[in-house]
Structure 1
Amino acid sequence: MAQRGRPREFDMEDALDRAIDVFWRQGYSGTSLSDLTRAMGISRPSLYGAFGTKEETFKLAVERYARIDMAYVTTALAAPTAYETAGRYLRDNVDAVTTPGKPAGCLSIQGGLSASPDDDRVVRYLAERRADGEARFAARFAQAITDGDLPASENPAALAKYVSTVSAGLAVQAAAGVARDDLHRVVDRALLAFPRRPEAEALPHTSVTS
């Protein structure tokens, strides 16, 4: 069946990746439509036709960034213990925000920094995404309490907020030029404050050999 209309003359995923790079480096407020079209190699009508407004393009960029650049979150949530979940997430986060060839820091953090009052919808959108992320970690830590992996006295939401706050700080420090090794040392320190399975209930250590 013949397609209606003129076919697009650009790769949408490639164009969106270029938009991610611009928003990541310049933030939402610091990025103009001209910045986007120039980086994406398309005209304004093509931008509007394929992605929508600047705000809609940014949201699509954040969604793609979360799906690809932050895929490690899902892996961390599947770790066997809450402590390993926190550790894997923070360590992978350090590697992600210091990836050679990509802007330092985190798109979802950089995008909302220094936002103007006119960008309130974008700020709220990013806050909602962070809240959704924290909710996933809170659910994981709640399950850990049920499983006896964390003390019953722990607050899952507070632990999720702690991990989220540390990761945001790591992203800001990375954007400021702090080296990867230094940030991993910060994670070492941060994990000292994260609870582990109560010793009385800890399973004996076993080694697996092939």
Structure 2
Amino acid sequence: MRKNNEMERGRPRGFDRDQALHKAMEVFWERGYEGTSLSDLTDAMGIERPSLYSAFGCKEALFREAIDLYNRTESPAAQKMLESAVTTRQAISAMLHNYAENYTRPGKPPGCMIVLAALLGTPQNRKVRDHLANHRRQGHEALRRRIETGKKAGDVPASADAAAIAGFYSTILEGLSIKARDGASRKVLTAIIDGAMASWDVLVHGRPDGRV
């Protein structure tokens, strides 16, 4: 009896693509792109290499899908806070605190997958690093847009440099990820956020007392 096409390509019966992708995401998140081998992936996903290639194409394509999954599952709450808080300051503070909680959750790799997965690497993996850099730029742009919204609403001065403020807080966010990967507790990250938010008046007004 002739096997069906799926079995010929090496995918076992009962293969759960979504579950396998989630497992792959966790491996990439923990070990980074170049630190993850195909054997690491197939062991975690519970499949053979032919099944991986059939379902996802290649390691890079699998990684890109894993990044998309990470964005869908790990970022929505923080992004909702950024959009829904009454003032811009409250929005940025809530977003940072939410990420600090996420970065230090038991049972999850510490830090942010997008920040940590491929900061450095070999020339042949430049496209992977560029892909992640684009995601980080999108995060910066989301902050900038929120600050511009605050300017229109009147809780941020019209003279404030939205791009510069967004750059400051996106750098804080990326630093929190690195500190978490180094073992910093949520308490430590919270103290860093409090210090960053204490700089708000200087950033938006140019003076610590809020006067121009």
TM-score bracket, shorter-length normalisation: 0.7 to 0.9
* 1:154-182 Cα deviation digits (max 9, x unpaired): 11111111111001000000000011111
* 1:43-92 Cα deviation digits (max 9, x unpaired): 11111111121111111101110111111232122211110111011100
Does residue 22 of the first structure (1) align with residue 27 of the second (2)?
yes
* 1:81-122 Cα deviation digits (max 9, x unpaired): 110111011100100110100111111112113322221001
Size of the alignment, in residue pairs? 197
Does residue 127 of the first structure (1) align with residue 133 of the second (2)?
yes
Q: TM-score scaled by structure 1?
A: 0.87
Tell me how far 1:146 sits from its aligned partner.
1.4
Give the match for residue 188 of structure 2: 182
Native 8 Å contact 2:104 2:186 kept in 1: yes
Residues of 1 paired with 2:154 and 2:21: CA distance?
44
Q: Which of 55, 69, 84 is the matching residue for 1:50? A: 55
Q: TM-score scaled by structure 2?
A: 0.87
Give the match for residue 100 of structure 1: 106
Match runs of 1:32-51 below 5 Å:
32-51=37-56
What secondary structure sits across from 2:6 in the alignment? coil
Residues of 2 paired with 1:180 and 1:112: CA distance?
24
Runs of 5+ unmatched residues, structure 1: 201-210
Residues of 2 paired with 1:159 and 1:62: CA distance?
26
Give the match for residue 10 of structure 2: none
Native 8 Å contact 1:149 1:197 kept in 2: no
Native 8 Å contact 2:118 2:128 kept in 1: yes
Native 8 Å contact 2:26 2:109 kept in 1: yes
Residues of 1 paired with 2:196 and 2:142: CA distance?
20
Residues 118 and 99 from structure 1, CA distance in 2 versus in 1: closer, same or farther, beyond 3 angstroms? same
Residues of 2 paired with 1:71 and 1:115: CA distance?
29
* Superposed CA RMSD: 2.0
Tell me how far 1:24 sits from its aligned partner.
1.0
Amino acid at match of 1:69: E
Instruction: Report the identity percentage.
Output: 38
Give the match for residue 6 of structure 2: 6
Tell me how far 1:5 sits from its aligned partner.
4.2
What secondary structure sits across from 1:6 in the alignment? helix
Tell me how far 1:6 sits from its aligned partner.
3.5
Q: Which of 132, 150, 161 is the matching residue for 2:167? A: 161
Give the match for residue 73 of structure 2: 68
Amino acid at match of 1:49: S
Native 8 Å contact 2:160 2:204 kept in 1: no
Match runs of 1:132-143 below 5 Å:
132-143=138-149
Tell me how far 1:125 sits from its aligned partner.
0.4
What secondary structure sits across from 1:100 in the alignment? coil
Residues of 2 paired with 1:156 and 1:50: CA distance?
42
* 1:113-155 Cα deviation digits (max 9, x unpaired): 3322221001100011111121111111111111111011211
